[in-house]
Amino acid sequence: GLAWRQCGVGRAEHLWADSGSRTAAHLQDMEKARPLWDNPLQFVFACISYAVGLGNVWRFPYLCQMYGGGGFLIPYIIMLILEGMPLLYLELAVGQRMRKGSIGAWKIISPYLCGVGVASVVVSFFLSMYYNVINAWAFWYLFHSFQDPLPWATCPLNSNRTGYEEECEKTSSTQYFWYRQTLNISPSLETSGTLQWEQALCLTLAWLVVYLCILRGTASTGKVVYVTASLPYCVLIIYLIRGLTLHGAVNGLIYMFTPKLEQLSNPKTWVSAATQIFFSLGLGFGSLIAFASYNDPSNNCERHAIIVSLINSSTSIFASIVTFSIYGFKATFNYESCINKRNLTPLPTETIPYHTDTLPPSCRQAVQGTGLAFIVYSEAIKNMEVSQLYSVLYFAMLLMLGIGSMLGNIAAILTPLTDIKAITSRFPKEVISGFVCLINCIISLVFTMEAGNYWFDIFNDYAATLSLLLIVLVEAIAVCYIYGLRRFEKDLHTMIGRKLNWYWKAMWAFVSPLLIISLFIFYLTDYILAGTLQYQAWDGTQGQLVTRDYPSYALAVIGLLVASSTMCIPLGALLTFVRKRLKRERVSTVA
């Protein structure tokens, strides 16, 4: 409701009609009133803290494993050049030039585009609702990391204390701790269960931390990002040194760096590379536009776009080296233990981590789903010396990555709201921030119920994918063909003092939009061909995941998640058109 109030056309129409003095005056007023980052480095750290997230540690290594090891780097780097870097620069430039959040920035470009900003806010709201649950899980694991032994190191005793819990014996101690003691997961989505108060408290703590980090706007966020951006690298370096000394680590690294070039002929390899770049940089959420709006108008956003995108991709590769060394150790340890227990014929050493399809299920590697970082890493950590120390470091790192991303998500919501004078004139920013966090926290309690993880997967899979592709596609078209590429080029020349390179113009006008359209068609086709949507449910009686069909009400929620954000774009344009028409009729009637 509040976001749509900015779709009024009055002032924005004048800005569109008179692109000269009025726009310049508007921007000068904004420069005087708008808070700024203390220095350009603070802005870079904020962007890195936002972009470098859990996907760099979880998703990228998984994609490397799925699509050809080192060979995946080829499409990944190509997509970085063709899609990631140009679109990142586009959003930073729009935010810095217009000096508004997502709604205000696109409204200045054209009144009919206010729905683009609203769509970004809606998607960011959905993301914030479920993303902070990951931080709650990180807090949960961090608190339990101080126990000796680690609570996921062994199976707990049953109620009679005559043996181990039956469910734990059918799976593993780490999976049991995740699915039963952390999530207390229900057998299906239809069985909602009760609220898990321990997880609810951890979630409340996670939201309290986020609120304290954003309490003073850029003044507090700017200080926090130094920690959230730098601490994960310190932990990764420690893990790299430790990981390379572990037995079997080389097996994982050999697998990662051995390119399987035949995967380059697989279309899904290229789609996965493009998708990873797109979502890893956080395009379309409005966070980058919000961060850039607090820049000095003369800031060199081109250089910063290149720096942030290269650091983000380098971090993914660096994190993969660490992750694969851990994978190699975990796989080798479990494999050798399993072989010794079952007296099976060993496979060649270099194939241990992943080529174990002929082995019993307990000897194989399970590397899918959101619990990957919690199950796989905790499995490896429990077998390390001084496991408590490495557990604390790892989950503190996850927490920093999660909080850093949350700061960007919340900025994408708060910046457009605080740009509305009708709101800021009545309520201080601390109250607005607190209200947004409180609403998010209350709604996100649904993810702490016994069926909460299934709802988490629904939001994670469907709340943003198609919506973000559509948002960024409209952004690129709007800048190049509505605002005008030449006009935008002049704006950039005014800001950074040099002409726009042909590379940026070619990517913005042709290449990047075509890639986004291709991705959009692929995902749309994939959803249609998939038929009945399904999910993975935990069956405690078998100690494994089973596939189930989504119930009808879950399919309705999925449809609403996609429609509620994508429909903002045409509805915003329609609302603006109607208001303009009514205004003209009133003027003609008075005349």
Between CA 45 and CA 221 the distance in angstroms is: 10
Task: Extract the annotated binding site for Na(+).
Answer: 51-52, 56, 280, 312, 401, 405
pLDDT tens per residue, range 370-417: 666 788 888 889 888 899 999 999 999 999 999 999 999 999 999 999
Between CA 247 and CA 235 the distance in angstroms is: 20
More confident residue, 337 or 298: 298
In sequence order, the 6+-apart residues with CB closer than 8 A to the CB of 39 are none
CA-closest candidate to residue 73, choices 59, 63, 83: 63
Between CA 538 and CA 150 the distance in angstroms is: 23
Return the minimum-mean-pLDDT range out of 53-67, 436-450, 472-486: 53-67
pLDDT on residue 35: 86
Longest dimension (CA), the chain: 95
Between CA 388 and CA 394 the distance in angstroms is: 10
- Three-state DSSP class for residue 69: helix
Q: Tokens 């870079």 label which residue?
A: 44
pLDDT tens per residue, range 549-587: 999 999 999 999 999 999 999 999 999 999 998 988 877
pLDDT band, residue 194 (cuts 50/70/90):
very high
pLDDT tens per residue, range 284-325: 999 999 999 999 999 999 999 999 999 999 999 999 999 888
In sequence order, the 6+-apart residues with CB closer than 8 A to the CB of 439 are none
pLDDT on residue 18: 43
**Average pLDDT over the chain, rounded to whole?**
86
DSSP codes joined into one string, 99-119? -S-HHHHHHHH-GGGHHHHHH
Q: Which CATH architecture has domain 37-342+367-590?
A: Up-down Bundle (1.20)
How far, in whole angstroms, is CA 195 from its chain's centroid? 26
Between CA 190 and CA 182 the distance in angstroms is: 20
CA-closest candidate to residue 552, choices 189, 149, 122: 189
Q: What pTM, to 2 d.p., does this model score?
A: 0.89
CA-closest candidate to residue 299, choices 46, 20, 25: 46
More confident residue, 419 or 15: 419
